[in-house]
Structure formats: C-alpha cells, structure tokens
Structure 1
Amino acid sequence: MSDLAKKLAIILVVGSTIVGCSKKEEGAASDASVATESAAPNSETIRANAAKNPEQLVSTQQSALEQNRLLIKSAQLQFEVKDVLKTTATLEQQLLQYNGYIENKQIDYQVSDRSQRDRSDGTVDIYEKITPMVQLTVRIPNDQVTTFLNNLLPLMLNFNTQSYEAKRYELKLLEEKLNTANQSNSSSNTVNNQLQQLTDLEVKDRLAYSTIRLEFFQQAKVRKSHDLNINRIATLDSDPLLTRIAEAFKVGLSYFKETILWLIQFWAFYFVFITIWVIRKHIELENKTANY
C-alpha cells in the first residue's frame, strides 16, 4: 500500500509541474502578444502624426468676389528638395509652359563647417560641409498662379513655409502712389508725373504677372577640394644637404662680418673706456711707488 501511495504522490507532483509550466508558457505568449499589439498602435500613431506636405498650396476654387475683382497676387515659399540644380532646371521648363520668366536667380553653397588635412607632398585636402540653396524670383501670368503653385508639390521633399497675398488692384495702386509721393516731396511736377506713369505701368504689370519668390535647399553634403601648402613645397624643393651646409657657412660668415662692422661703429666709446682704464692704472701705479 505504501508503494502505491508513493507512486500516486510522484504522479501528482509531475502532473502539477507540467500544468504549471504550460500555464507559464501561455502567460508569456499572451504577454508577448499583448506587447506586440500595443507596439503596433504606437507605430501607427507615429506614422499618423508624422509631418506631411500639404495636398495643395492654394485652393483651386474661387469665390464670386475674387472672380469679379482685379487682384494682384504674390507668394513666397521655402521648401527642401533632393537636388537644387535639377529642381531649378525643372522649374525653368515649367515656366516655359506657363509663359512665365525668371526675374532673379541666385545659387549659393553655404559652408557651415570646414576641415583640412596636410599631405607629405605639399598638397592639402579640404573638406567642407555645404548646403546648396537657390533663390528664384519668377513672374507668372495671374491666371496661372494657382496651377503653378500646386504643381510645385511633387518637387518638394519637405515643405517649410508659405505666404500668399492677393490685393485689389486699386489698393495696390494706392499704396504704390503713396509711396511714390513720399519719396518725391521736393521733386518737380514733371518728375512727379513721370513717377506716377511708371507706378501705373508697374502696377499693371503686376496685375498681369504675379511675383512668386521661391527659396529651396537640399540636405547638406561634403565637398572635397585641394590646395597647396607653399611652405611645405618650398621645403621639399630645396637644394641638397651639402649645398645647404655651404650656404649656411656663407650666411654665418656674412652675419659675422656685419656684426664686426656694427661693433666698430662704437669706437668712440671704446676709446673713452680705454683712456679711463689707462689713467686709473697710472694713478694706482703712482700710489704704489709713493708708498715704497
């Protein structure tokens, strides 16, 4: 009977151990599944909250008030692109399609960091961290501004800032004339009339062609260039050792001669010093003779 009890006890212990291990595995699996499920919404939340470029820059729908008024439009945008030169070429092609033109273009490579390495042959490797940047001022027919601005979106890698302005023709004309009047208070009537005419022409030109200022850049990259270390090249391009030793003796001899000539210039001081020394010795000699 005791053997049967021992066997039953062993079976119960083994069974309880197996059940406990299975529950732990199920608990670990359930914890892993919960962690995976909780991690998935977090990644989805990050994607949902990631900054995205706008779907359009300017609305294509115009109100009746906007359609019935003469508006002078201007815009300014800043964005990041993959390649500033390719983007500039693409914009120039698009301007031809919209009958626009470039009023001003400036390409700049801003250097934010610089390092160099000297080589044994006298050359210098220069490494620069540069940010290519382009500033464009373009003129677009007024009725093509919305289409042109919205077509810029495929060129953008990251969108930064935008400003858009649409002013009534009369208000813009009034602002320009007031500005002209303030600048020509002391001018003659002829000059004032010419300024007024030029102001009218400028405002009419802005009415026909809108001004859009674009500023775009690309990610910083490394530019490598080469330079020369003149001191190193001069050292490498020197004469042989024996010739340099002979030249050193010649230079030393010339310095010695110059030093002797410089010391001779003070002959008067030497003469006075020797005279004083002779007189002093003579007096000492007379004193010794008198004592004897």
Structure 2
Amino acid sequence: MKVSNTKIAILLMGIFFLNACKKQETANTSGFAADSAIVSSENVSDSISYAAKQNIDGKKFIKSADLNMEVKDVYKTTIEIEKYLKNNGGFVTLSSLNSEIISDETYNTSDENAMLIRKYQTENSMEVRIPTEKLGDFLQYINDEKLFLKARNIYAEDITANIQLAKLESNRMQKNGQEIAKLKTTEKKVNLANENESEKNYQQVQNFITQDNLKYSSVKIYIKEPKIRIAEIAITNTKNIDNKYKFNFFYDVKNAFVEGFYLIQKIIVGLFSIWPLLIIGVIIVLFYRKRNTKKNDKFQYEIKK
C-alpha cells in the first residue's frame, strides 16, 4: 500500500512538472510571436529602404517600381503625390484619372427641377520620375498614404556591364575615326566617316538615356478607391418639359389642314403626269362598252326572231 502511494505521489509530481513546462513554453511562444510582429512591421520599411536604396561598390543599377493600391480619395492622393514630386525634384510623365460610372438615377423634385444620383468609382494610372537617391523615401511616403496595398514591385537592373561595353565602343569608334582620317579622301573614306559618326551619335544618345535612367527612377502607380462614391447633381426636369411641348392642338390642326391641301395638289399633279395611261384606260373602257353593246343588240335580235 505504501509503494502504491509513493508511485501516485511521483506520478502527480511528474504531471505538475509537465504542465509547468508547457505553460512556460506557451509564454515563450507568445513572446516570440509579438517579437515577430514587430520585426515584420520593421521589415516592410526595411525592404522598401534596401530594395530602393541599395548601393554596391562597382555596381550601377537602374531602379524602377510598380505600385497597385487602394486609397481613400484618388483625387486628393494624386494632388499630394504631385506636390511631393515637385518638392523633391521629381516630375509626372503620365496621369490618367478616370471615373467609372456605375449607375445614373434621376428623381424629379418639382415641375422644373430634378436630381441626378450618380454612383461612380475613381481610379488613376500614373507614371512618375523621382531622383534615384530619393526613391526609397518616395515609396515609403506612398506606403503611408495607402488603405490597402495590392502589389508592389521594385526593380534594380544591373547595367554595370553595359556601361563598360559603352566605354569600349566609344574607344573603338574614336580609334576608327583616327584611322579613317589617315586615309586618302575618296568616296569610300567619306562613307566610312559618315557611318562612324552615325554610330558615335547613336552611342552618345544611348549614354545620355542611360545616365538619365540612373539619375531618375521610374515609378508606375495605380490607385483606386475601394468604395463607390455618390454625386448629387441638380438638373432640369426634362420629362415635364417634354410633356409641356409634346402636343399643341390648334397648331397641329392648322398644319394638318395645310398638309391636306398640299396632298390634294400632289394627287392632281400626279394624275397629270400619267395622262397617257388615263387616255389608254378610257379607250379600253369605251372599246369594251361598244363590244358589250353589240353583243346585247345581237342577243335581243335573235330573241325577237
């Protein structure tokens, strides 16, 4: 019996110890979840900052971004973005703001007035340029303005090799120019010089475009309102106006009399235009009458006979 009590006591102590361990583990897990939430929140900002601001020695990046998000007021957000760009050396290359009309309902409020209830949803597609060193701050500013972020893509195209190739091509064309200059003046020399100069101009334009893309980052922004908006527009009661002028008895009677007179004139003129047919018709009628008359006379003669 003593042994049994001892075993029970040991078993109870074991269960108590396991429960205590589980509680401690649960507490530690909850603390880790809270820390993870904080880290996750920080990572959002850090990911914007690093992806948009990353600088590596010996590397050149052309940076761009795409954003798709919902905002409370599209028009107001558009104005705020434009102000931010203006104050930070950026500019807008495209801003296409549209309001999609969901429905229109007209309610007459008096004989002269009515109210148009329009349900609509506004969206805007923007393409902007921002100095590359301020791209991260700009993306963070837009992120703070959003209600819901659907998608965000940040691109960093490594063009280090392209820049080196452009330098080598410039050196090659310069050497070609020097070699061409040594040739005797002939038609072939002129053609070679023109081709080399054309390649040189093309390369200069490409270098300018590359430097511009390095200096300014392109950002495409699509913003939309999550809910339908309603506009109340005062208009004229067109239905009452239509009814007012739809029918005028005396005016319509006068027009009907005049139109009837013109109709008679048209009929008379039409008859005169077909006078040959009328004459032919009269001749046919007279011929059949005369023929019928002869038949009747012959029939009566035979009866008398």
Normalised-by-shorter TM-score class: 0.5 to 0.7
Q: Deviations over 1:261-291 (max 9, x none)?
A: 2233222222112111111111221222233
What's the offset of the Cα at 1:171?
4.7
Corresponding residue of 2:66: 76
What's the offset of the Cα at 1:189?
4.1
Corresponding residue of 1:273: 281
Q: TM-score, normalised by structure 2?
A: 0.62
Question: Counterpart amino acid of 1:258?
Answer: K
Identity rate of aligned residues, in percent? 20
C-alpha change, 1:84 and 1:59, in structure 2 (3 Å) is closer
Q: Contact conserved, 1:58 with 1:149, CA < 8 A, in 2?
A: no
* CA–CA separation in structure 2 for the residues paired with 1:198 and 1:229: 61
* CA–CA separation in structure 2 for the residues paired with 1:231 and 1:273: 56
**Matched ranges for 1:197-212 at <5 A:** 197-212=204-219
Question: Counterpart amino acid of 2:145?
Answer: L
Corresponding residue of 1:89: 79
1:143 to 130, 133, 140: 133
C-alpha RMSD of the superposition: 3.7
What's the offset of the Cα at 1:74?
0.5
1:241 to 240, 249, 254: 249
Q: TM-score, normalised by structure 1?
A: 0.65
C-alpha change, 1:251 and 1:152, in structure 2 (3 Å) is same
C-alpha change, 1:125 and 1:169, in structure 2 (3 Å) is same
C-alpha change, 1:128 and 1:135, in structure 2 (3 Å) is same
**Matched residue of 2:47: which SS?**
coil
Q: Contact conserved, 1:79 with 1:160, CA < 8 A, in 2?
A: yes
Compare 131-140 and 203-212 and name the one that shifted more.
Answer: 131-140
Question: Counterpart amino acid of 1:86?
Answer: K
What's the offset of the Cα at 1:70?
2.1
Corresponding residue of 1:67: 56
Compare 207-216 and 89-98 and name the one that shifted more.
Answer: 89-98
What's the offset of the Cα at 1:55?
3.8
* CA–CA separation in structure 2 for the residues paired with 1:266 and 1:174: 94
C-alpha change, 1:264 and 1:220, in structure 2 (3 Å) is same
Q: Contact conserved, 2:48 with 2:139, CA < 8 A, in 1?
A: no
Q: Which ranges of structure 2 fall in alignment gaps of 5 or more residues?
A: 1-36, 168-193
Corresponding residue of 1:16: none
Q: Deviations over 1:69-110 (max 9, x none)?
A: 222110010111011121112212322443322232222223
Matched residue count: 229
Q: Which ranges of structure 1 fall in alignment gaps of 5 or more residues?
A: 1-47, 178-186
Q: Deviations over 1:194-248 (max 9, x none)?
A: 2211110111111111111111111332345577899985774478522331222
Compare 127-136 and 281-290 and name the one that shifted more.
Answer: 127-136
